[in-house]
Structure formats: C-alpha cells, structure tokens
Amino acid sequence: ALGDYAPVTDARLKNPEAGNWLQYRGNYAGWGYSPLSQITDKNVGKLQLAWAFATGQKEGHQSPPIVNNGYMFVTTPGAQVIALEAKTGKELWRYKKELPGEMLQLHPTNRGVALYGDRVYVATVDAHLVALDAKTGKELWVKQVGDWKALQYITLAPLAAKGKIMVGSSGGETGVRGYVAAFDAQTGEEAWRTYTTAAPGEPGGDTWPGETYKNGGGSIWITGTYDPDTNLAYWGTGNPAPWPTEGRKGDNLYTGSTITLDVDTGALKSYFQYNPNDAWDWDEVSAPLLIDTEVKGKKVKTAVHAGRNGFLWVLDRDGQKLNFVDAYPYVNNNTIKSIDPKTGRPTYIEERRPGMGKGNVHFCPSLWGGKDWTPEAYNPKTGLFYIPANNNLCAELPEPEPTKYKKGDLYIGYPIEAILTGLRWESGKKDAPKTMGEIQAWDLKTGKQVWAHKFPTFNWGPLLTTGGNLVFGGGTNDRMFRAFNATTGKLLWEAATPSGVTGVPTSFEVDGEQYIAVQSGWGVDAQRMQGGVDNLVGYQTVVPQGGTVMVYKLAK
C-alpha cells in the first residue's frame, strides 16, 4: 500500500503543480506541457535511465505514466493498472480486471487512468468503468458502460471533473452509436449519457436517413479536454459507420467533429464538423487543445486540432458556438479541394471518395490520416503547437462489399485484408518517399510552420513539451525515444528502448529531481501501418513487442 496519498481535487486538476502529472495531458487544456525546467536544451544530452519496469504485457502500451506526489500509475493493454514508486520503479500494487476469454479486442490497448479524490479510475476493453482505492488497488466498484458482446470497447483514459468520471466507447468499425457517459465519482451511478449521432427530431437528426444513426459510429476513444471557466468538455468524435457512404447520405452529425458538452448535464452545446459524410475512416477523436493566443493580430480563445484529414484547424471557442477561424494543410492531400473561408466546411474531390461502383480509389492522407490518435502538444513559452504527423502517405480502397449491421460482427464495408494492405505512396510514385514521419512546430499567431523534423519512416509518437525548451517523442520503428530543441527542432538526445514507443510521455519531480517517463511497447495500428509499409517495400520490419516503463533523469 501507498503511504500518504494527496487526494486529487478539482482545484489541483485546474491548477496542476509543476512537479506532478495528474491527468492524461497534464492539464485540462490538453497541452502535454510540463513547466519543469531542470532538464533543458543545454543539458538534455546527459539524460540517462533512472529505472525501467517490464509490465509483462504485449501489444500497444499507450498510457502516460501519471504521477501524484511520488506515486506513478500506468495501464497496459488488457486494462491492468500498476502503481509504482515514481523514484525507484518499485511495484506497489497491480490490478487485473477479469476479461471474457472469447472477447475480440480490435484495438488492444488502454490509454491510462484518471485520478480523482483518493481513487484511481480505469475504463476497460470489455466496456466497464472501475474505481480503485489509490492506496491499495482494491476494487471499490465496477459499472457496466457498454455491451462488449456488441463489440463496444473502451480504450481511452477517463476524464474527471466536478464529481464526475466521463468515458466514451470505441466501435466505429463495429457499428456502435457513439456516446459520452458520465458517472458519479463516489457511487458510480450513471449521471448522463449523450449520444454522438443525432436521432430524428433532434438537431442534426435529418443528417441520417432512416435508422442509420443507430449504428452510425461517431465513437469516442480519446480523453476530452475541459474548460473549467465555462464547464464545457470538448470531445472528438470518430468516423461514421459503415465506411461506405451510400447508405447514409447526409452530413452524419456529429461524427468526425468536435462537440462540447456541459459537464453537469451532458447537454450538447456546440459542435464543429471536420468531415461531413466521411468515407475515409478519418476519426477526429483527438480533443482540441484549448489555447488563448493571438491569431493574426487578434486575441482569440482557440480550440486547436490537427485533423486526421490533414488540416490543422483553429476554432474560436468564445461565445455560444465553436466558430471556424482558419485551417492549414499540414500534410499532402489530394482529397479536399477547398475549405469554405467563412464556415470551414470542406469540399471533397468526389473521385477521391471510395464507394459503390468505383474500383480502387486512391486518396491522401491515408486512412490513418495526417495524424491518428497520437496527441499534439502546446508550449506556452515558445508559443508553438507541435504535431506528430505522417506525410506523403496515401491509401487505396477497393469497391465496398455490401454490409448489414449484425451485433457482434465488424461493420466496416471492406475486408480487413484490403485495409491492412491498402497503404500507398502518393499517386504515380513507385518508390518510397524520402521521409514519412514528421514532428512539426506551428506558430498559431501567424499560421505558419516554423520547423519540421523528418524521419525516413512513419511516426506514431505522442508528444511532450517542457519548460526546458524541449519536445520529447518516440514513434519510429527503430525503437528510439528522442528530445528536440522546442524552438529550433534540432535533435538533442536519443536512446533506444526495448520496443517501439507509442506511449504518451510525461514529466514529474521527486525530491527536487526532474524525471521524463514514457512507456515503450509497440502494437495496434503502428504495427498495422508497418505491415502496410512492408507490403509496399517488399521486406519485413520486426519491432519487438513487450511493455516497459522507461524513466530518465540527468546524470549527476
């Protein structure tokens, strides 16, 4: 059991101490920013391993090491929760949820815990929400959120605010009707549930023919951001289901959107849709980062999102509605012809939309997007917004197969094999591009890219930025974890890890020393994209699996 444990209050979540990392992205605004500045662009070359801890699990280790006063909490695929001493890596307790053996895990991962009060909350791949005693790991309650037999599954880290624990379900490829559900942190009682596809009679209900909204996707699988001043949570929604659009003509609200929900009631207050009638699996699940900044000379309370559709979107979140400000293409795109400068609505190039009666349709960015789920970061010191991007990658989909919703089956409209072998280079190109993965830095004030570090292979690495003028990220198939100068993009430090790094990095302090922490553990769609690249280049890349918590500090 843990010693003194400092309960996590609303006040602490709103104004997190620099030395802790209390929630998914470090703050409610979603910045992925640690103000700690002991490790800097000058001394990061002396970063070395403080300790490492093997989780004993395979597949995608994506959860951030979350730290509260010297105690660290990580999750693994299969929804295990491990409490560790943050300074030494000593295991304090481990929780394992019993999972149904026959359950399909379409995306075998878990993106972390939420801390609230003296509890730890985890949402599981069999669609339950679990409350644990932070000190002992003892299960306090377990609530069913969704039906795993209908292939609802949860991969995200919960969001905790104002006495509520909020979660959403995955299932854009299994025909769920997406939702965000809130549970009372104390009792586990369900407080509200808001669906992301509009029913007839509701605003947006006329954007779905017949009953298609009932299995229309719009799943929620990345933690929302939250603005305590307005009590609104910002959630990103996934792709509509099934992928071919023929049966669901219309905008399919609120898929491929950012929606804002009142945390007390769940009422949907506003939305912005990035991909009306999406046909490309462009989930826009990454919640926007909430940044008050200047944009082209004007002060704006923004919500910023690097879209899977390849555009960097800047919205104005002041006032009643989420309003379009600007959008900048950040990767090559042959699918969106234009974006309405007033409304932000995209116009597609119709021949790039896969569908009935069409043979192989080629489109860029690929179905994994300019960026998939991997979080961006914002550094208030540099004023720069950082994107882990994949550029020069496209995909091809064959003519869809007729598909009908059936509980417990996939509901995609294309054979999995076609999806896994669907990656392509840009049109007409035989050879692999010189670079694919990128870390990009954008100045929101000017709307210009300031630097880009380019990798020979793709990048599936969530980002951390710090008060020491650094950006950290992994994401490449060479197992490296790296540090860059946040202002210039210069590579300053790198170290190989046991597996590939698709984990969310964090930073914290214990006894006056700053640490950088990340999980190494390759899997899920980083591995599937590797299969797609290998299929094109004709050789097999092996990235070993197995999870390890890696914790670094400066050499003395």
Ligand X SMILES: O=C(O)c1cc(C(=O)O)c2c(n1)C(=O)C(=O)c1cc(C(=O)O)[nH]c1-2
527 interface partner picked from ligand X, Ca ion, none, CB below 5 to 8 A per type:
none
Q: Which of 179/348 has CB closer to ligand X?
A: 179
CB of 88 to ligand X, least distance (A): 30
Residue whose pair of structure tokens reads 């910002």 in the numeric block = 234
- Three-class SS state of 159: strand
Q: Which of 31/282 has CB closer to Ca ion?
A: 282
Q: How is residue 159 written in tokens?
A: 């969001």
CB of 5 to Ca ion, least distance (A): 37
Which residues have a Cβ under 8 Å from the Cβ of 384 and sit 6 or more positions away? 378, 441, 442, 443, 450, 486, 487
Q: Which of 381/528 has CB closer to ligand X?
A: 528
- Three-class SS state of 13: helix
CB of 86 to Ca ion, least distance (A): 34
d(CA 9, CA 15): 10
CB of 221 to Ca ion, least distance (A): 8
Q: Which of 24/221 has CB closer to ligand X?
A: 221
d(CA 339, CA 350): 14
Q: How far is CA 13 from the centre of its chain?
A: 20
Sign of CA dihedral 447, 448, 452, 458: positive
The answer to whether 441 touches 450, Cβ cutoff 8 Å, is yes
* Whether 443 is catalytic: no
Q: Which residues bind Ca ion (CB under 5 A)?
A: 172, 239, 283
Q: How many CB atoms lie within 10 A of CB 340?
A: 11
Q: What residues pair up with 66 in beta bridges, in sequence order?
A: 73
The answer to whether 475 touches 374, Cβ cutoff 8 Å, is yes
- Three-class SS state of 44: helix
Q: Which one of 281, 316, 326, 525 is the catalytic residue?
A: 281
Q: Which residues bind ligand X (CB under 6 A)?
A: 60, 107, 109, 155, 170-173, 219, 221, 238-239, 281, 283, 368, 372-373, 524-526
b/e burial code for range 426-465 (CB count within 10 A of at least 16 → b): eeeeeeeeebbbbbbbbebeeeebbbbbbbebbbbbbbbb
Q: Which of 154/325 has CB closer to ligand X?
A: 154
CB of 305 to Ca ion, least distance (A): 16
Residue nearest to ligand X (CB): 172
Q: Which of 365/489 has CB closer to ligand X?
A: 365
The answer to whether 393 touches 425, Cβ cutoff 8 Å, is yes
439 interface partner picked from Ca ion, ligand X, none, CB below 5 to 8 A per type:
none
Instruction: Tell me which residue of 306, 293, 265, 287 sits closest to 28, measured CA to CA.
Output: 287
H or E element, residue 535: helix 524-537
335 interface partner picked from ligand X, Ca ion, none, CB below 5 to 8 A per type:
none
Write the DSSP symbol of residue 198.
P
Q: Which of 278/316 has CB closer to ligand X?
A: 278
Q: How is residue 451 written in tokens?
A: 């630097």
CB of 153 to ligand X, least distance (A): 7
Sign of CA dihedral 521, 526, 532, 538: negative
CB of 477 to ligand X, least distance (A): 14
Residue numbers annotated as active site: 281
